[in-house]
Amino acid sequence: MSYLDKTLTFESDKIYYYDETYEGNFEVMMDWEDPLMSASAAYVCQNGGDILEIGFGMGISAGYIQSHSINSHTIIENHPDIIPKAQTWASKKSNVTIITGSWFDVKDNLSTYDGLFYDTWGDDNMTDFSASLSTLVKTGGVATWWNILSEENNYYNISNVTYTQHSVNPPSNSYFNNTTYYLPQCQL
């Protein structure tokens, strides 16, 4: 059973699901990431313009992106339990467009953007992200993504990336248990 088939549990501080094979919970997103979402939003919005956000999650980064002066905010979300929450959140925001489905499936119909924030869960097309950057982001535009590696490196082998370090203190969880987050910064 894939992630998209899982029933998500929404609590005030996290989204998670139980995986029978794993014999435990997978946290999808948690509120301790708030400062990281803020910093990620600030980075991708530094030039204003059109922003693409892949993965809505708890909507933390979306809220921060909206706090910046931007033209448009396109959000792609694929989990059926999160989509209605994203749509509700976006309902009175005139510059927000929600696209449902896999980012990989819709990428050829997207525009190009001044800023991109990629933060997904259970993404079968993670390995395609690197190759898609140049077609999704304008020249001179910027991108960041959730970085699982606690070092100046990244899962996607994207080169010419700089990092800013952020001290964090996450509770034990299934995806990040380090005390320093290396926020990737990539200018196209």
Partner 1 sequence: MPTINAGRVGRIRGTPSTNYTTAKTSNGSTATDSPTSNDSSAIMAFFSSGRGGGTFLFHRTYIYFDTSGITAEVTSATLKITGVSSNSSGCVVADGGNAFGGDGNTALATTDFNAVDIGGSPTAYTNQFSWNTSLNSISLNSTALSNIRSQSNTIFCVLNNNNDFGSTTTTSTVQAGIAFGTTIQLEYAVAASSDITSLNTIARASITSFNTITLADIDSINTIDN
Interface with partner 1 (CB under 8 A): 3, 19, 21-24, 26, 28-29, 119-124, 126, 145-149, 155, 174-176
Q: Which is nearer to partner 1, 43 or 145 (CB)?
A: 145
CB of 139 to partner 1, least distance (A): 25
CB of 141 to partner 1, least distance (A): 20
Q: Which is nearer to partner 1, 74 or 120 (CB)?
A: 120
The label of the residue with tokens 């077609």 reads: 135
CB of 152 to partner 1, least distance (A): 15
Is the Cβ–Cβ distance between 123 and 39 less than 8 Å? Answer: no
Cβ-based burial of 49 (10 A; exposed 0-12, middle 13-18, buried ≥19): middle
CA 50, CA 95: separation in Å to the nearest integer?
10
Q: Which is nearer to partner 1, 19 or 47 (CB)?
A: 19
CA torsion 110-64-128-142 (nearest 10°) is 80
Is the Cβ–Cβ distance between 51 and 73 less than 8 Å? Answer: yes
Q: Which is nearer to partner 1, 42 or 149 (CB)?
A: 149
Long-range contacts of 3-12 (CB under 8 A, 24+ apart): 3/79, 3/121, 3/122, 4/78, 4/79, 4/80, 4/122, 7/81, 8/79, 8/81, 8/82, 10/81, 10/85
Q: Which is nearer to partner 1, 57 or 141 (CB)?
A: 57
CB of 155 to partner 1, least distance (A): 5
CB of 4 to partner 1, least distance (A): 12
Residue 179 to residues 31, 33, 165, Cα–Cα distance (Å): 15, 12, 10
Q: Which is nearer to partner 1, 64 or 146 (CB)?
A: 146
CB of 123 to partner 1, least distance (A): 6
